[in-house]
A = this chain, B = another copy of it.
Amino acid sequence: MTAVLVVDDDPHLLRALRITLQAHGYAVTTAVDGTSALLAATQNPLSLIILDLGLPDIDGTSVLKELRGFSSVPVLVLSARHGSEDKVEALDAGADDYITKPFGLDELLARLRALRRRSVEPDESLVVTEAFTIDLGKHRVTRDGEDIRLTPTEWKILEELVRNPEKLITQQQLLARVWGPAYAKETNYLRVYMAQLRRKLEPDTANPRHLLTEAGIGYRFMP
């Protein structure tokens, strides 16, 4: 079964969504403001959240950001605003989809199915190399069953690279994602941390086989 939380302050819309969703096999919980929505998200194991941006207490985007602090549930945002800045802001805050009112129920259901399909729990996302094993779900790196301890920053860099295997990640992308967009010039950080990562992960630091440098551009992870 799919458990979905619907957050909206309009009781009519809430009721309509409840009935429609239940008829399609969803288990529905509801909330009418941001505070109770966050509370419900902590108490219930959810599969999906439908979030209206116009809430009486907290701004919807803020709700989204706070939610992302402790949960990675797929979120579909409802909004009356068509502007592209609004969409960008919501999606950057962690939304997975965005739909504007008024909308057709058929479209909503289709989008929910798509979200559900897309969110295959990355629980068994094990990345194995001959030198070490990375468990993205459990947040662990091991070699021969032994834990390899990584600092938070080391982990974030490794995660960025490993989630895009074989793909070249530019230095600016890495810096922006790990330290924030304001640090795009601090390529020094990358040199320091890539060296630390190689020392911990690569058997032969001088000849890295998995954490590769693309001179002048960025870095690349090879499984």
- A43 to B40 Cα, complex, angstroms: 22
Contact B152 A66 (CB under 8 A): no
Partner of A45, one of B1, B139, B180, B214: B1
Bin chain A's interface residue count: 35 or more
Contact A43 B25 (CB under 8 A): yes
A11 to chain B, nearest CB (A): 10
> From residue 137 to 170 of chain A, which have CB atoms closer than 8 A to chain B?
137-140, 151-152, 155, 166-168, 170
Does A177 make an interface contact (CB < 8 A)? Answer: yes
Contact B39 A181 (CB under 8 A): yes
Chain B residues closer than 8 Å to A66, beta-carbon distance: 181, 184
29 pairs, A vs B, C-beta closer than 8 Å: A1-B43, A1-B44, A1-B45, A22-B29, A22-B30, A22-B40, A25-B43, A27-B27, A27-B29, A35-B181, A38-B176, A38-B180, A39-B180, A66-B181, A70-B175, A70-B177, A71-B173, A71-B176, A137-B167, A138-B167, A139-B167, A139-B168, A139-B214, A139-B217, A139-B220, A152-B215, A152-B216, A152-B217, A155-B217
